[in-house]
Structure 1
Amino acid sequence: MIPFENTWPYDRFGQDIYVQNCPFCQAENVLLPLKARDMQELQDRVKKLLVFPCCRNRLTLVDADSDYLLASRPLRRGDRSKST
């Protein structure tokens, strides 16, 4: 099972990949330095180092699907089961 706390949602607009909020500094609408080829490699299980342009925090991505990036460490705080 994929740990939900290690995921972060992203959006595609044409060839650009954005996150609505940076998981580190909470900057809005952050354009990520990822391209379609990078996303395909992530889906093929090739790890990628992502440096957020807003705050220069680093993150190792290990997978991606059409909605979420999967990181090697938690990006979310709190216990998801408490929200039900």
Structure 2
Amino acid sequence: MIPFENTWPYETINKDTYVNECPFCDARNVLIPLTAKDFQSIRSGAKKLLVFPCCYNKITLIDADSDYLLADRPLRKRH
């Protein structure tokens, strides 16, 4: 089962990929450097290092669907 705390929502508008909020510094509408080719590779099983341009925190993406990125570590804060 996929741990929900390791997921983060994203949106693709035209050829740009955004997250509404950075999971680390809470910056809004962050353009992340992922292309359609990157998503194909990730969905095929390749891992991809993603560096958030707002705060330079890094995660390793291990999968993605049309709505969520799946990282190798928790991205959501537990309450």
Give me the TM-score of the superposition, normalised by structure 2. Answer: 0.97
Give identity over the alignment, percent.
65
Query: How many equivalent residue pairs?
Result: 79
Q: Aligned equivalents of 2:32 and 2:77: distance in 1?
A: 22
Structure 1 residue identity aligned to 2:25: C
CA distance in 2, matches of 1:78, 1:54: 22
Match in the other structure for 2:62: 62
Gaps of 5+ in 2: none
- The CA deviation at 1:45 is 1.1
Runs of 4 or more, structure 1, over 6 Å off, are: none
- In our comparison, the structure showing a higher alpha carbon Rg is 1
For 1:1-84, list aligned pairs within 5 A. Answer: 1-78=1-78
TM-superposed CA distance for 1:42, in Å, is 0.8
What secondary structure, in the 3-state scheme, does the structure 2 residue paired with 1:45 have? coil
Q: What is the TM-score of this pair, normalised by structure 1?
A: 0.91
Gaps of 5+ in 1: 80-84
